[in-house]
Amino acid sequence: MTYTYETNGAAIYKQSFAMIRAEAALARFTPEEEPIAVRMVHAAGMVGLEQHVRMSPDFATAARAALGTGAPVLCDAHMVSEGVTPARLPNENQVICTLRDPSVPGRAAEMGNTRSAAALELWRPHLKGALVAIGNAPTALFHLLNMLQDPDCPRPAAIIGCPVGFVGARESKDALWADQPVPCLIVEGRLGGSAITVAAINAIASRAE
């Protein structure tokens, strides 16, 4: 049997986004937020995800401004950092993931926490004004919130908080949304993951100046 299917990559791309905009409930997003939500839906392959996306009013502006000034992107997992498209970044921004640093296992043991959480301690020199992207580990998001309770801890410009899973994912995002130490984006509940986190970063980067 010979299968007939669309073979033009540009046409597939155009049709996919047209279908999302036709089917998804996007009216509540501002013009600055809508492209972020659309790309997240596209990455998930799930119309309906947009109903769980929450952005604080100044998130899109703050995140884009940070990238425009050359701020780094700090990622909790290599699945996130490897997905960022360098060509989209507006100012040769560094994309940093510290999870594989040799000191992390020892730090985790000392802290009595996961390696994902311990790796964030290595973010401190880069954290001021950064775009933070947590797309995997709830423990990383919880630890970041604990770090930011210290008035001496540098403050990022914005946080994408989309960890995925069954233990702590919902709770960590609820905590971020309730606290909002800086402008933030979350996906409510257990939904989340590296792909939609990367999609949000790339959407922000594409429109940053």
Digitized pLDDT (tens) for each residue of the chain, 209 residues in all: 899 999 999 999 899 999 999 999 999 999 999 999 999 999 999 999 999 999 999 999 999 999 999 999 999 999 999 999 999 999 999 999 999 999 999 999 999 999 999 999 999 999 999 999 999 999 999 999 999 999 999 999 999 999 999 999 999 999 999 999 999 999 999 999 999 999 999 999 987 64
HSE value, Cβ hemisphere, 13 Å, CA-based, for 183: 18
Quick check: helix, strand or coil at residue 99? Answer: coil
- Catalytic residue positions? 42
Q: What's residue 208's pLDDT?
A: 60
Tell me the chain's radius of gyration from C-alpha atoms. 17
Q: Which residue has the tokens 């790339």?
A: 202
Quick check: helix, strand or coil at residue 83? Answer: coil
Q: What's residue 52's pLDDT?
A: 97
Pairing, β 184-187 against β 53-55:
antiparallel
Q: What are phi and psi of 201, to 5 degrees?
A: -60, -50
- Pairs from 89-93 (Cβ < 8 Å, separation ≥ 24): 89/205, 89/208, 90/205, 90/208, 90/209, 91/67, 91/208, 93/67, 93/205
Q: Which two tokens stand for residue 105?
A: 């296992």
Q: Which two tokens stand for residue 172?
A: 């960590």
Element (H, E) at 145: helix 138-148
Q: Which residue has the tokens 């995800």?
A: 49
Element (H, E) at 54: strand 53-55
Q: Which residue has the tokens 């130490």?
A: 181
**Cα–Cα dist 103/119, whole Å:** 9
Question: Is 1 buried (19+), middle (13-18) or exposed (0-12) by CB count in 10 A?
Answer: exposed
Contact criterion met (CB below 8 Å) for 168 and 176: no
